[in-house]
C-alpha cells in the first residue's frame, strides 16, 4: 500500500517491566520534575503488545483490566504527528502481566512497545525519531525503549546502556494498592529525602566505574537504595510488611522499586534465581501475586503473528 502498511499484517512484541536497582533523588527543578540517578533493569516479566489494522474509524488501544487513558494511545498519536504517517487506523492490544501502578514501568514499557510496533507497522522504522518521542511520553519510557540495563540521569531522559550485572534472582511482591507517582515524589520532598546534584554526580560516576564488563558487581552500598522507598512506605503501610516478608523469605536485600508500592527481594549470585523461585512458591499462598524474575534478554524482537 502507498502508506507503507500491509492490511492483513499483525505484529507482536514483548514489553518488559523493570525494577530500579537503585533510585537516587536529587533537586526539584522548576518544571516540577526531579533530577535523579537510577540503574534500571528490565525483567523477564512482560506484557504482550500486538498491532493490526483497526475496523473502526480511529486508532484504538485495548487493554483488558486497565481502565482510563493509555500511554500507548499517546505513543501512536505522537508517531503519526511527528513521522507524518497517515495510514489507516490501527488497533493495539495489550495483554497485561506486569502489575499496574506498581513502580514496575508497565505502562511505560507498553508505550515503548506500541511506539516500536507502530513504526514497524507503518514501514518507517526510524530509531532517531523513536528516541526523540520516548521522553515526551514519560520518564520511564526512554530506558525501556531498547531493552537491557541502563543508567538513567537527568529527569529520566539521559539514558546510558550498561552491560548486564551479575546474575541474581528477584522476588516480586506486588501490592493490591496502586500509588500515584507524583504523590510519592512530593512526599519524598516533604520528608527531606532530596540530595544535592554533587551527590548525584558522585553516585553516577561510581556506577559507571563499576559497570565496565558483563557480569559486573553492583556497588553493595548502592544496591537497593531507593530514596522514594520511605515515602512509599508512609503512603502505603503494606510496603513495610512486604519488606519484612521478603527478608523472612531469605532475600539478601529487600527494597521498593520505582515509586512503589511493589517490593523486590534480591537474591544474590548464580543460585539467586533458584532461591527467589523457591521463596515465591513458599509465599504464594500468603502474598497473592508473588513471583520470581530474572533480568530480561537485551531486547524484544517484533514478530509477525497470526
Ligand atoms: O514522566 P512521568 O509521567 O512518568 O512522571 C510522573 C510524575 O512523577 C511527574 O509528573 C512528576 O511529578 C514525577 N517525577 C519527578 N521527577 C522525575 C520523574 C517523575 O518528579 N524525574
The per-residue pLDDT for range 126-177, each reduced to its tens digit, is 899 999 999 999 989 999 999 899 999 999 889 999 999 999 999 999 998 8
Active site residue 18: yes
pLDDT at 254 over 70: yes
Q: Which three cell numbers stand for residue 173?
A: 511482591
Residues 10 and 97: beta-carbon distance below 8 Å: no
Comparing C-alpha atoms, which of 186, 131, 133, 144 is closest to residue 49? 144
Active site residue 74: no
pLDDT at 3: 57
Architecture of domain 10-161: 2-Layer Sandwich (3.30)
CA distances from 152 to 29, 38, 157, 288 (A): 17, 5, 7, 31
Residue whose CA is at the smallest distance from ligand 1 atom 21: 155
CA–centroid distance, residue 267 to ligand 1 (Å) = 29
Comparing C-alpha atoms, which of 155, 42, 143, 157 is closest to residue 98? 42
Residue whose CA is at the smallest distance from ligand 1 atom 8: 182
Residues 145 and 116: beta-carbon distance below 8 Å: yes
Fold of domain 168-293: Alpha-Beta Plaits (3.30.70)
CA–centroid distance, residue 154 to ligand 1 (Å) = 12
pLDDT at 4 over 60: no
- Tell me what the mean pLDDT of segment 95-102 comes to: 90
Q: Where are the domains of the chain?
A: 10-161, 168-293
26, 71, 139: residue to mutate for ligand 1 pocket, most atoms within 8 A of CB: 139
- pLDDT per position as a tens digit, 197-248: 999 999 999 999 999 999 999 999 999 999 999 999 999 999 999 999 999 9
Q: Which three cell numbers stand for residue 209?
A: 566505574
75, 185, 186, 260: residue to mutate for ligand 1 pocket, most atoms within 8 A of CB: 185
Comparing C-alpha atoms, which of 26, 69, 20 is closest to residue 201? 26
CA–centroid distance, residue 226 to ligand 1 (Å) = 15
Q: Which three cell numbers stand for residue 218?
A: 553492583
CA distances from 153 to 28, 36, 74, 133, 159 (A): 14, 6, 24, 17, 7
CA–centroid distance, residue 95 to ligand 1 (Å) = 25
- Tell me what the mean pLDDT of segment 52-68 comes to: 93
Amino acid at each position: 500500500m502507498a502508506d507503507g502498511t500491509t492490511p492483513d499484517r499483525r505484529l507482536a512484541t514483548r514489553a518488559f517491566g523493570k525494577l530500579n536497582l537503585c533510585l537516587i533523588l536529587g533537586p526539584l527543578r522548576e518544571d516540577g520534575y526531579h533530577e535523579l540517578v537510577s540503574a534500571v533493569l528490565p525483567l523477564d516479566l512482560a506484557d504482550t503488545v500486538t498491532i493490526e489494522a483497526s475496523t473502526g474509524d480511529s486508532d484504538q488501544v485495548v487493554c483488558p483490566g486497565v481502565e482510563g487513558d493509555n500511554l500507548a494511545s499517546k505513543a501512536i498519536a505522537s508517531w503519526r504527528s511527528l513521522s507524518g504517517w497517515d495510514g489507516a487506523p490501527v488497533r493495539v492490544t495489550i495483554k497485561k502481566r506486569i502489575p499496574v501502578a506498581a513502580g514496575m514501568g508497565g505502562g511505560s514499557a507498553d508505550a515503548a512497545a506500541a511506539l516500536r510496533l507502530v513504526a514497524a507497522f507503518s514501514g518507517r522504522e526510524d530509531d532517531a525519531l523513536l528516541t526523540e518521542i520516548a521522553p515526551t511520553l514519560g520518564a520511564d519510557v526512554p530506558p525501556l525503549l531498547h531493552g537491557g540495563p541502563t543508567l538513567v540521569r537527568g529527569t529520566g531522559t539521559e539514558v546510558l546502556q550498561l552491560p548486564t550485572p551479575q546474575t541474581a534472582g528477584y522476588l516480586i511482591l506486588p501490592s493490591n494498592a496502586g500509588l500515584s507517582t507524583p504523590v510519592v515524589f512530593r512526599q519524598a520532598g516533604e520528608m527531606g529525602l532530596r540530595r544535592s546534584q554533587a551527590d548525584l554526580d558522585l553516585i553516577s560516576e561510581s556506577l559507571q566505574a563499576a559497570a565496565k564488563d558483563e557480569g559486573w558487581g553492583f556497588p553493595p552500598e548502592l544496591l537497593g537504595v531507593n530514596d522514594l522507598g520511605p515515602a512509599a512506605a508512609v503512603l502505603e503501610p503494606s510496603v513495610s510488611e512486604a519488606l519484612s516478608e521478603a527478608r523472612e523469605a531469605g532475600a539478601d536485600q529487600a527494597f521498593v522499586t520505582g515509586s512503589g508500592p511493589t517490593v523486590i527481594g534480591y537474591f544474590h549470585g548464580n543460585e539467586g534465581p533458584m532461591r527467589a523461585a523457591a521463596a515465591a512458591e513458599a509465599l504464594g499462598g500468603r502474598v497473592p501475586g508473588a513471583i520470581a524474575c530474572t533480568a530480561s534478554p537485551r531486547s524484544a524482537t517484533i514478530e509477525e503473528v497470526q
